[in-house]
């Protein structure tokens, strides 16, 4: 189903589990090998990312740039990375690429360095900063224009030729920057009307005005002519047939598996594969959603729910991965989790996609709290994490750990420095506990940003590292010496008594492999001197 959206962020924490010890996004450009995505050295890379939308809307830039402290644009990216998301899928529309396009709703206090920049210049900054964190970027042609989603990849106002021109412009712009790994050619092509007279997107029907598979070949090959290093992500359609939905009024029994979510039906890709002129560049991309988006999918009514879901996913797109035909990226999936059945759906989907580097890649929808159907990973303050979602998703994330950064600073703007306010920001300050012994742990306390006031505010990341043996739980203790107080803490369980602070692990980040690490973060207030405390770590 088509979704709207808007963005959020701040700093939180990396979650490493035994299943994600081989984390990261690799080095250099990526390509494919069977059902794997691999880097320039041949090492397997699994993308576990997040959607951050807004550039496809009338704002023409990322939503959430209007947020107040501490959610600056750099802190939002920090937050994503520290939670464990290693990739950002960036929806856009061609309208945002035009000369004269204006980015709106940028907070002049929290993001002064973005004020007055064009949408592309802001995108350059996000690309470069994300690359410095070891993250990757997927660009997604989400809509032909900012007016909204369409069944076909083109309209009277935005031709296929204009889409190709936009893609080639972006492919050229980021040709020397492997942070940007590829093109999701068009978001959620889908049926329109009923068959046999459907006018929406089909797969394999042979009509060049409707066959998305043939269009993906034309557009993908044009992109690869400009930048042969990019991955080409091709979504499915919604229904089998000639571009329409089954006619429920024709007295002919309808196949309950004839239609999936918009962009989710790749059931015919095995018979009618996308053929690209550059080998090892194709990744199929499917979308899947919960009951909060649309409650009438037939598989939600199955008495065997949720154990019936793997067969559903096998049918529509999972077979491509399981039969080693091509890699799959689940480009969108999400829910508000307000319906308890959606918790079962999301849990089963994460299990289906798997852990570690050998699982199916994904980008969760969405970072933004203003997605009406699903909500976001962060709440309306652009800072507070939805812990119910992260408890399910967190164990399946492969955090970025370096590599994949830009080889150039971007075509129009330099790599940004971290900025959190219009006032001078103090230099980072940090302290560490003693090095861990076997079976033990150490902790590093780092003030990542600070701002003046009465009282002032600050944000801190505490990194917990295991010694040469894995640990299953941890406790960090310290005492504030100057009256600092914690206002909000994430990825940990806080107990405070006066100036004495104790933080223990959550259910999903207590296990740390040997020499691995996780982290938690918090915001707080200070008066006078924001001195860095001495930490102790026990496991």
What is the rounded distance in angstroms from the CA atom of residue 363 to the CA atom of residue 378? 15
What are the Cα distances from residue 229, in Å, to 37, 132, 169? 13, 20, 15
Q: Give the three-class secondary structure for 389.
A: helix
The DSSP symbol for 254 reads P
Beta strands per DSSP E along 243-308? 282-287
The residues annotated as belonging to the active site are 188, 332
Place of tokens 């104790």: 502
Of the chain, the end-to-end C-alpha distance in Å amounts to 46
The encoded tokens of residue 20 equal: 């994600």
Alpha helices in 84-147 (DSSP H): 119-132
Pick the closest to residue 268 from 293, 292, 242 (CA basis): 242
Pick the closest to residue 234 from 223, 247, 248 (CA basis): 223
Angle, alpha carbons 1-377-39 (nearest 5°): 85
Pick the closest to residue 406 from 420, 418, 416 (CA basis): 416
For 310, how many CA atoms within 13 A lie in the half-sphere containing its CB?
10
Q: b/e map of 465-494 (b: 16 or more CB within 10 Å)?
A: bbbeebbeebbbbbebeeebeeebbbbbee
For residue 82, the surrounding DSSP H or E stretch is helix 73-83
């Amino acid at each position: 189903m088509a979704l709207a959206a808007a963005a959020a962020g701040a700093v939180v924490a990396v979650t490493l589990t035994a299943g994600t010890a081989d984390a990261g996004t690799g080095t250099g450009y990526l390509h494919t090998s069977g059902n794997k995505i691999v880097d320039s050295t041949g090492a397997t890379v699994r993308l576990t990312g997040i959607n951050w939308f807004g550039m496809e809307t009338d704002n023409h830039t990322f939503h959430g740039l209007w947020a107040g402290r501490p959610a600056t644009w750099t802190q939002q990216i920090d937050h994503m990375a520290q939670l464990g998301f290693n990739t950002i899928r960036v929806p856009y529309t061609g309208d945002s690429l035009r000369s004269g396009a204006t980015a709106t709703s940028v907070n002049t206090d929290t993001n002064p360095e973005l004020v007055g920049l064009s949408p592309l210049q802001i995108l350059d900054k996000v690309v470069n900063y994300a690359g410095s964190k070891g993250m990757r970027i997927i660009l997604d042609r989400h809509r032909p224009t900012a007016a909204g989603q369409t069944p076909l990849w083109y309209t009277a106002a935005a031709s296929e030729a204009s889409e190709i021109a936009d893609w080639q412009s972006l492919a050229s712009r980021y040709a020397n920057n492997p942070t940007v790994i590829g093109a999701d050619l068009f978001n959620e092509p889908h049926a329109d009307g009923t068959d046999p007279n459907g006018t929406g997107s089909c797969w394999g029907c042979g009509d060049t005005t409707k066959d998305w598979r043939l269009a993906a070949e034309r557009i993908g090959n044009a992109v690869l002519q400009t930048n042969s290093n990019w991955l080409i992500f091709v979504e499915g359609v919604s229904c089998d047939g000639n571009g329409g939905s089954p006619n429920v009024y024709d007295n002919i029994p309808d196949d309950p598996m004839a239609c999936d979510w918009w962009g989710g039906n790749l059931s015919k890709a095995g018979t009618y594969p996308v053929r690209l002129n550059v080998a090892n560049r194709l990744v199929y991309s499917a979308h899947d959603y919960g009951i909060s988006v649309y409650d009438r999918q037939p598989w939600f009514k199955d008495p065997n729910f949720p154990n019936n879901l793997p067969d559903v996913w096998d049918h529509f797109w999972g077979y491509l991965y399981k039969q080693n035909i091509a890699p799959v990226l689940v480009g969108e999936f999400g829910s508000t989790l307000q319906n308890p059945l959606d918790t079962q759906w999301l849990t089963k989907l994460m299990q289906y996609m798997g852990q570690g580097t050998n699982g199916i890649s994904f980008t969760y929808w969405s970072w933004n709290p203003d997605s009406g159907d699903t909500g976001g990973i962060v709440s309306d303050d652009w800072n507070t994490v939805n812990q119910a979602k992260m408890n399910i998703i967190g164990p399946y994330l492969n955090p970025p750990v370096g590599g994949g950064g830009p080889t150039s600073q971007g075509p129009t703007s330099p790599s940004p420095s971290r900025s959190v306010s219009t006032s001078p920001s103090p230099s980072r300050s940090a302290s560490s506990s003693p090095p861990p012994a076997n079976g033990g742990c150490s902790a590093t306390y780092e003030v990542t940003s600070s701002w003046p006031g009465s009282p002032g505010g600050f944000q801190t990341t505490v990194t917990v590292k295991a010694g040469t043996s894995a640990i299953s739980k941890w406790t960090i203790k310290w005492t504030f010496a100057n009256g600092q107080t914690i206002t909000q803490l994430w990825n940990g369980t806080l107990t405070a008594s006066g100036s004495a602070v104790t933080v223990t692990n959550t259910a999903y980040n207590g296990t740390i492999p040997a020499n691995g690490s996780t982290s938690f973060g918090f915001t707080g207030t200070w008066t006078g001197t924001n001195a860095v405390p001495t930490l102790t770590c026990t496991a």
